[in-house]
């Protein structure tokens, strides 16, 4: 069973600016693959911006969909993280 974390990052006006997505695979937290995206699905470097809240996947997808991220892009992001798991 896959375990995911979707951290919503707050924008300057209070709305979501993006997500930090982590695939929690294995026991070594430092090795868990993660990426960060803007709400339209554009990948950006992972930073240490404080999160606003942790969301369930359905809510993260809803936020991203409102930003213009498609279902195909959503699945591509998840596949990118799955590919990093050895």
Q: How far is CA 58 from CA 16, 27, 61, 83, in A?
A: 15, 25, 5, 22
pTM comes to 0.91
Tell me the pLDDT of the chain averaged across its residues.
93
Higher-confidence position of 72 and 50: 72
- The DSSP letter of residue 61 is H
16-23, strands of its sheet edge to edge: 43-44, 34-38, 16-23, 4-10, 51-55
Query: How distant, in Å, are the alpha carbons of 2, 31, 55, 64 from that of 38?
Result: 23, 23, 15, 8
84: which DSSP letter? T
Q: Quick one: pLDDT at residue 15?
A: 86
- Checking if the pLDDT of 14 tops 90, the result is no
pLDDT tier, 70 (very low <50, low <70, confident <90, very high otherwise) = very high
């Amino acid at each position: 069973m896959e375990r995911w974390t979707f951290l919503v990052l707050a924008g300057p006006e209070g709305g979501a600016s993006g997500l930090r997505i982590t695939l929690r695979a294995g026991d070594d937290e430092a090795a868990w693959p993660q990426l960060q995206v803007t709400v339209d699905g554009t990948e950006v470097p992972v930073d240490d911006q404080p999160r606003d809240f942790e969301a369930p996947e359905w809510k993260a997808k809803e936020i991203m969909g409102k930003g213009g991220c498609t279902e195909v892009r959503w699945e591509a992001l998840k596949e990118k993280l799955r590919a990093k798991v050895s």
